[in-house]
Amino acid sequence: MPNDPAEPLPVLRETAFGTAKLMPDLDCPGGWLLTVDGTPQSYVDLTDPQHLEFEYTHRLGHLADTVAPPGAPLAVLHLGGGALTLPRYLAATRPGSRQLVGEADGPLVELVAEVLPWDGQGIEVTVGDAREVLATAEPGGHDLVVADVFRGSRTPGHLTSVEFVRLAAAALRPDGVYAANLADGAPLDFARAQAATVRAVFPHTCLLAEPSVLRGRRFGNLLLVGSHRELPAAALTRRLAGDPFPARLVDGPELRRLTGTADPVTDADARPSPVPPAGAFSIG
């Protein structure tokens, strides 16, 4: 049977850091999956921007929902853009938000703008390295800074140091919140060092992840959150418990025990996040 001429087709393009593919979700009109070299990067639903497909984006959404009163606009700096899942979510849930997205892959930005445009949503995208974008950000001008940067399936080393986190802190308002999405597996050495790094800058820190990831039973995403003010741990815990794949919030003494003797990472010893095991994220 020939293809329906109205049916969207996959789009494949070489970008600065690999082969990007935008694939329509045939089971969800308006849904699109972005992969780079076979690794899922983003899922967006043009008909329902509040639809968060990936579990770690659920957690980012919960965080964004709880850092300020419902509907209140936020000033947000997103480091790493992909297909702009979280910026679109915030534009829908917090109209009037001022959002700047830094994405290093210029051709990827062009592809997403062409296939999944975001005009009129109050989202500005600039092409540049995440650390360079952060270094030039308005000091003390943001309610939320989100670092979600993967070069393929790994976070670049220069975005994992205490110097980088200090730049994020400088870009935040006094009660602002920093969040970093990372990936790790047993024995969680990278996650422990990242927890120590964020704790070295922010007095209030928590870690959000599925129990199986925290126990080292599988490789997966962890969300590190830091602030100079008390975090909404109780509200986050309730929301995490209601997810299809519930996650745990680890803070206080439990986070200190998890961090153990890990030292904060500095620019001098920073390394990229670990290589995922075969099949951890790739979908072909």
Q: Collect all residues with Cβ–Cβ distance below 8 Å to 136 and sequence separation of at least 6.
A: none
Residue linked to tokens 């979600």: 148
The total of other beta-carbon atoms located within 10 Å of residue 158's CB is 17
Residue 183 confidence (pLDDT): 96
Segments of the chain with pLDDT less than 70:
1-6, 281-284
DSSP state of 125: E
Tens digits of per-residue pLDDT, 70-104? 999 999 999 999 999 999 999 999 999 999 999 99
Rounded Cα–Cα distance for residues 27 and 19 (Å): 24
pTM, two decimals, is: 0.95
DSSP 194-257: HHHHHHTT-SEEEEEE-HHHHTTSS-EEEEEEEESS---HHHHHHHHHTSSS--EEEEHHHHHH
Q: Which fold has domain 53-259?
A: Rossmann fold (3.40.50)
| Preceding amide of 276 cis, omega within 30 | no
Residue 1 confidence (pLDDT): 44
Could you tell me which of 248, 265, 246 has the C-alpha nearest to residue 155? 265
Name the 3-class secondary structure at 259: helix
Residue linked to tokens 């399936």: 153
Residue 282 confidence (pLDDT): 52
